[in-house]
């Protein structure tokens, strides 16, 4: 029994020691990783720089002679300066004239260019209009052709439908049934819907039966898919017994 | 450190009462399961070594009577043997008792001996696998308890979020963080328990098998003795 108990004691000591270690690891050695991150705005420091003219050392005339000499020199200087100024003025006037001329030439050239550009635009617009018209005409032509081919197919369908239509005895002149045929490109009928009934059930049914009997319109297989989509996806057919003499 | 908002300690201290309770429960479970782990480890190692030692002395050709008396003396000193010695002692005691009578029927003797050894065996098996169910239940339940604490904490922090006008991540993040500690603790308790349970269960299995083999062998020896008389 002593051996057993000592086993438990070591176990308890081990376990508690382990858990104390874990807790201590959490409490003590948890590095505070979150440093304060301060985002500093990037800026440029602007400084005002003053350009100071260098001060010229002033010479002081020490005596009167020197003063006179200085005065004369100054006079001469002044005259020279005046001449210079005049000359400069002349030069600048000439320069100004030249500049003016240049500017005028520039303006003329610009005007010419603008006119040319406008002309070009005009021409382009006219061309575009012409193209558009041409395209429309062509489209119309194509549409006309398509319509013609479509109408030939429509005639085929009409012929087949009227062939396979057996009118019921109750059919009377003036009865009309409008049906809508849903076709697929193979020429098969996938749906018949009566849009406008004649009022006579037998007549309507005969029309439906005629549609299913006439199908498939295998001629439609040779048709361009575009034309099919445009005209034959759903076809409306009006049945009226014109040939009856009643 | 404690001033910092997100240290583990402050997170635990600021958690809601239920979450704190869950954490405490998990901590206690972890402590106890580690006690069991260490104790079982020591016990099983001792049992294994004892079995090897006993088998060596048993097969070394020692007189069984002497061995029995030695072991009985040891048992009296230590307050009870453990492991395979118990099986041996129980079997041998029963055998000598039954063969003392003059008119001993060999079949009856063997039957009694076997029964005594079976009882001792099952007692030893029990002793080997004590605490293992506890480890198993800690392993399977503590993740759920931790998850419960986490869910509760997150629930509360989202409820708090609903009341705030301007919801930012910073309003929920501490709550979720503190809630997740509960799951971490649950896993911390569960993972060692799972490992220990699997390892110890396998060990107990092999120990049981070797005990049974020894019992069979011992019984065959006794059988020979009974029938050679």
Question: How does pLDDT run across B83-133, given as a tens digit for each residue?
Answer: 788 888 889 888 888 887 666 788 888 888 899 999 999 999 998 888 899
B35:A32 CB<8 A: no
Residues of A with CB under 8 A from a CB of B: 1-4, 7-8, 10-12, 14-16, 18-19, 22, 26-27, 30, 32, 34
Q: What is the pTM of this model?
A: 0.51
Q: Could you list the residue range(s) of the whole structural domain that residue A165 is in?
A: 79-246
Q: Is the ipTM of this complex over 0.85?
A: no
Residue spans per domain, chain B: 8-228
Q: Which residues of A touch B39 (CB under 8 A)?
A: 7-8, 10-11
What residues of chain B lie within 8 A of the CB of A34, using their CB? Answer: 4, 6
Q: Does residue A43 fall inside a structural domain?
A: no
The C-alpha atoms of residue A211 and residue B192 are separated, in whole angstroms, by 81
Q: What is the mean pLDDT of residues B53-79?
A: 83
Which of B34, B185, B191 has the highest number of chain A CBs within 10 A, making it the mutation to test binding with A? B34
User: What six digits make up the tokens of B41?
Assistant: 């480890």
Token digits of residue B15: 């958690």
Q: Tell me which chain A residue has its CA closest to the CA of residue B4.
A: A32
Backbone angles phi, psi at A181, to 5 degrees: -100, 130
C-alpha angle A227/A231/A236, rounded to 5°?
160
Between positions 162 and 221 of B, the ones with CB within 8 A of A are 188
Q: Which CATH number covers residue A135? A: 3.30.1150.10
Residue A31 lies in a domain: no
Phi, psi of A122 (to 5 degrees): -60, -45
Closest by Cβ to B38, choosing from A4, A15, A30: A15
A151 in a structural domain: yes
Tokens of A202: 């037998």
Digitized pLDDT (tens) for each residue of chain A, 246 residues in all: 445 556 788 888 988 999 899 888 877 756 555 556 666 666 677 777 777 766 555 555 457 777 888 888 889 989 999 999 999 999 999 999 999 999 999 999 999 999 999 999 999 999 999 999 999 999 999 888 888 888 888 888 888 888 888 888 887 777 888 888 888 777 788 888 888 888 888 888 888 888 888 877 777 777 777 777 777 778 888 887 776 554
Q: Do the domain assignments include residue A5?
A: no
For residue A34, being part of any structural domain is answered with: no
Question: In this complex, which of B8, B39, B188 lies closest to A8 when CB atoms are compared?
Answer: B39
Contact B38 A32 (CB under 8 A): no
Tell me which residue has tokens 């709550």.
Answer: B175
Structure tokens at B142: 């503590």
DSSP A30-75: -----PPP--PPP---------PPPPPPPPPP-SHHHHHHHHHHHH
Please state, in angstroms and as integers, the Cα–Cα distance from residue A160 to each residue in A217, A221, A232, following that order: 8, 16, 15
Please indicate, yes or no, if residue A189 is contained in any of the structural domains: yes
Say yes or no for a CB contact (<8 Å) between B31 and A34.
no
Partner A contacted by B2 (CB < 8 A): no
Domain total of chain A: 1
First to last CA, chain A: 124
Burial of A43 from C-beta contacts in 10 A (0-12 / 13-18 / 19+): exposed
pLDDT for position B72: 85
Q: Could you tell me if A185 and A216 are in contact, meaning their C-beta atoms sit under 8 angstroms apart?
A: no
The answer on pLDDT for B3 being more than 80 is no
Is A140 domain-assigned?
Answer: yes
Q: Do B38 and A14 count as a contact with CB atoms less than 8 A apart?
A: yes
CA-based nearest distance B81→chain A, Å: 8
Q: How far is A25 from chain B (nearest CA, A)?
A: 11
Question: Residue A139: inside a domain, yes or no?
Answer: yes
Q: What is the pLDDT of residue A135?
A: 93
Residues B176-202 pLDDT 10s: 888 898 999 999 999 999 999 999 999
The answer to whether B123 touches B86, Cβ cutoff 8 Å, is yes
CB contact under 8 A, A1 and B4: no
């Amino acid at each position: 029994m002593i051996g057993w108990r000592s086993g438990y004691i070591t176990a308890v000591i081990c376990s508690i020691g382990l858990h104390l270690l874990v807790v201590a690891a959490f409490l003590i050695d948890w590095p505070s990783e979150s440093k304060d991150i301060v985002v500093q705005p990037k800026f440029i420091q602007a400084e005002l720089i003053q350009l100071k003219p260098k001060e010229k050392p002033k010479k002081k005339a020490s005596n009167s002679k020197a003063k006179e000499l200085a005065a004369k020199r100054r006079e001469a200087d002044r005259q020279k300066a005046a001449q210079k100024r005049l000359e400069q003025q002349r030069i600048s006037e000439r320069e100004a004239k030249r500049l003016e001329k240049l500017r005028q030439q520039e303006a003329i050239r610009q005007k010419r260019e603008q006119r040319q550009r406008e002309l070009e635009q005009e021409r382009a617009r006219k061309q575009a209009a012409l193209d558009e018209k041409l395209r429309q005409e062509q489209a119309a032509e194509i549409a006309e052709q398509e319509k013609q081919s479509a109408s030939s197919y429509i005639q085929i369908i009409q012929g087949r439908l009227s062939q396979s239509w057996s009118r019921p005895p109750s059919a009377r002149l003036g009865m009309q049934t409008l049906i809508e045929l849903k076709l697929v490109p193979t020429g098969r009928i996938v749906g018949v819907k009566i849009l406008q009934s004649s009022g006579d059930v037998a007549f309507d049914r005969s029309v439906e039966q005629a549609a299913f009997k006439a199908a498939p319109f295998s001629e439609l297989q040779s048709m361009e898919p575009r034309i099919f989509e445009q005209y034959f996806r759903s076809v409306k057919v009006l049945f009226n017994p014109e040939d009856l003499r009643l | 450190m404690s001033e910092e908002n997100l240290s583990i300690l402050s997170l635990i201290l600021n958690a809601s009462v239920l979450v704190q309770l869950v954490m405490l429960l998990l901590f206690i479970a972890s402590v106890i399961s580690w006690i069991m782990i260490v104790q079982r480890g020591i016990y099983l190692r001792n049992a294994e070594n004892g079995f090897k030692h006993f088998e060596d002395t048993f097969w070394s050709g020692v007189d069984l009577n002497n061995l029995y008396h030695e072991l009985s003396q040891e048992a009296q000193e230590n307050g009870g043997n453990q492991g395979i010695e118990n099986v041996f002692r129980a079997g041998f005691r029963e055998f000598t008792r039954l063969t003392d009578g003059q008119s001993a029927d060999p079949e009856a003797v063997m039957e009694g001996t076997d029964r005594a050894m079976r009882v001792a065996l099952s007692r030893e098996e029990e002793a080997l696998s004590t605490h293992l169910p506890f480890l198993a239940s800690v392993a399977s339940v503590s993740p759920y308890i931790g998850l419960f604490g986490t869910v509760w904490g997150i629930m509360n922090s989202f409820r708090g979020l609903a009341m705030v006008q301007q919801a930012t991540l910073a309003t929920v993040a501490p709550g979720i963080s503190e809630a997740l500690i509960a799951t971490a603790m649950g896993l911390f308790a569960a993972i060692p328990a799972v490992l220990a349970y699997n390892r110890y269960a396998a060990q107990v299995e092999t120990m049981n098998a070797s005990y049974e083999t020894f019992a069979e062998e011992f019984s065959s020896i006794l059988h020979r003795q009974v029938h050679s008389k």
